[in-house]
Chain A
Amino acid sequence: MRLMHTKLPDFYQKAIDAGKKLRPETEVEIRGLESFKTGKLASLRVGRVEKEIVEITEDPDVDKVEVIILPRNTETNHTVIIKGISKKDGKCKKAILESMYVSSPGEDCELFDVEEIDDRRPSL
């Protein structure tokens, strides 16, 4: 199971399909991974998320699903790559690597007015 991962575009499509499974007119909004152009997602979680999206739409009052993907620990550690490019041949003559922490809004900002929160994440 640990070897199985889903392509990022496939995840988007699976999430949309799951949201529209019960009622095709359901609006599905996915956000949070905009800076990822490619990538692989753990397929076990993708399957669970698909099932949970369908579960959320079982409520007949739900006509829109938001799927928001955030870092669980919102102080994230990034690498900064500073590349010096020569226009003559397009080659990078030198690159400097730095680290950069980014603190960003966490899950609580999305949950203030939610009536019921069913937290199915494993504990850290």
Chain B
Amino acid sequence: MKLKYKVVLKGAADGVVPINLAFIDKKDIVDAEISYKEACQLVGNDFKDDCATVNVIDPDAVTVTSDGIMSDGAVVAFACADHGIINKDFGFMNVSEIPYSETLIAEEPHMKQWNTKYYRGRRLHRGPSPEDRKPLESHNENMTMTGRITNNNTGSEMMNTVDMTEILVLFFGQMEIMRDGDLLIGLAGPMVSVGIGMVVRERRGRIFGWNYGAGKTAHNSGEFAKTVKRDCPVIAADKKVVAEYTLRALDIGLVPGLHIACSPVALSIAKAYGKPIAFDNIEESAWIELESVGLTRKKLEKPSKPMTREEIIAHADEILPGMEGGIKYKATEVAETRYVEI
């Protein structure tokens, strides 16, 4: 019996990808009757002379991006392997399900998306639980570590600590890889660099916790925010995919800067769609970062004719800011399917 997995090999996307990135469908692990950890080890064994990160994806679950947009699919475990080793203490992490509760919906307004027709009743996985994180300490990020390889932010930021390369694999991009969809691959650039710091407040978030809410910046770096991740390679979904998911949030009345993050993408789509923006709730420190990439309050408040949902998706490439030198790829052009003997 063999286990199927997908991998974006180091050097893919015309050399932009610096690390082998493997993805396993949870269903294939269940069918093989092995544990997530055993599955990650099997994939790690396929890279005996190299390194790889491994994410286990449940396409039927749901998760939330750092700016508060709900997505199909979720990372339910993540690992990193260096020359076939997965570190016994820090190399693998499970991501437990977060049960539905009215308290969660009340405390985290962006989670109203969970009750829409798209996501209702589906399992939620965001960041790992305190039990999942053991033996990490409280200061540690949601990171697995083996040798030179780390897989951080619940499987979305992969690094090699020896050659010091890194790549961001945004969750919408991971799902496009899983469903042979459409990708945008390039460098983060100033817009993405700023946007990554615009987050929502969540208990057990994939990346952030309760410290920073909508309208704030977790970067709080002033004009330096646009440079902190500017040169980092990124695998993202095609912008029409990001637009569709963001529109679903705006369609139920969620407001950037109040319920969802004030990221350049959320603000730009809300502006084009004629939806409200919580201008006064966006803190000065966040405005400084937004204005440093040309996204000023004056521009956003300037009257414009709202576009339809269909128009926004059709013109997503012009409306959604972000990435430098981004090239569109079919996921099948950069990810290959492999099988490993169980």
Q: Which residues of A does B touch, CB under 8 Å?
A: 72-75, 77, 99, 101, 103-109, 111-112, 124
Is B145's CB under 8 angstroms from A75's CB?
A: yes
Is A106's CB under 8 angstroms from B83's CB?
A: no
Is B87 in contact with chain A by the CB < 8 A criterion? yes
Interface residues of B in 130-152 (CB under 8 A from A): 134-137, 139-141, 143, 145-148, 150, 152
A-B contact pairs, 17 of them (CB 8 A): A73-B89, A73-B137, A73-B145, A75-B145, A75-B150, A77-B137, A77-B139, A101-B141, A103-B159, A105-B161, A107-B147, A108-B82, A108-B146, A109-B148, A109-B162, A111-B85, A124-B135
Is A74's CB under 8 angstroms from B139's CB?
A: no
Is B148's CB under 8 angstroms from A112's CB?
A: no
A77 to B273, CA, bound (A): 43
A68 CB → nearest B CB, Å: 13
Is B212 in contact with chain A by the CB < 8 A criterion? no
B141 partner residues in chain A, CB cutoff 8 A: 75, 101
A105 partner residues in chain B, CB cutoff 8 A: 147-148, 161-162
Q: A75-B140, A101-B139, A103-B159 are in contact. Are A108 and B150 (CB under 8 A)?
A: no
Not counting A99-B139, A107-B147, a sample of 19 additional A-B residue pairs whose C-beta atoms are within 8 angstroms of each other reads A73-B137, A74-B161, A75-B136, A75-B140, A75-B150, A77-B139, A101-B139, A101-B141, A103-B143, A103-B145, A103-B152, A103-B159, A105-B162, A106-B87, A106-B90, A106-B147, A109-B82, A112-B82, A124-B135
Q: Give which listed residue, A75, A109, A124, contacts B143 with CB less than 8 A.
A: A75
A40 to B135, CA, bound (A): 25
Cβ-closest chain B residue relative to A110: B147
B42 CB → nearest A CB, Å: 18
B134 partner residues in chain A, CB cutoff 8 A: 124
A50 to B334, CA, bound (A): 51
A74 partner residues in chain B, CB cutoff 8 A: 90, 145, 161
Q: B228-250 vs A: 1/0 string, CB under 8 Å?
A: 00000000000000000000000
Interface residues of B in 240-272 (CB under 8 A from A): none
A107 partner residues in chain B, CB cutoff 8 A: 87, 147
B269 CB → nearest A CB, Å: 32
A75 partner residues in chain B, CB cutoff 8 A: 136, 140-141, 143, 145, 150
A106 to B82, CA, bound (A): 10
Is B148's CB under 8 angstroms from A124's CB?
A: no
A110 CB → nearest B CB, Å: 9
Interface centre among A104, A105, A106 (most CB of B within 10 A): A106
B85 partner residues in chain A, CB cutoff 8 A: 108, 111-112
A108 partner residues in chain B, CB cutoff 8 A: 82-83, 85, 87, 146-148
B87 partner residues in chain A, CB cutoff 8 A: 106-108
A25 to B90, CA, bound (A): 38
A99 to B139, CA, bound (A): 10
Is A73's CB under 8 angstroms from B147's CB?
A: no
A112 to B149, CA, bound (A): 14
Is A104's CB under 8 angstroms from B161's CB?
A: yes
A105 CB → nearest B CB, Å: 5
Is B89's CB under 8 angstroms from A103's CB?
A: no
B152 partner residues in chain A, CB cutoff 8 A: 103
Q: A75-B141, A75-B145, A108-B147 are in contact. Are A103 and B161 (CB under 8 A)?
A: yes
A101 to B140, CA, bound (A): 8
A75 to B149, CA, bound (A): 11
Cβ-closest chain B residue relative to A74: B145
A104 partner residues in chain B, CB cutoff 8 A: 161
Is A106's CB under 8 angstroms from B162's CB?
A: no
A106 partner residues in chain B, CB cutoff 8 A: 87, 90, 145-148
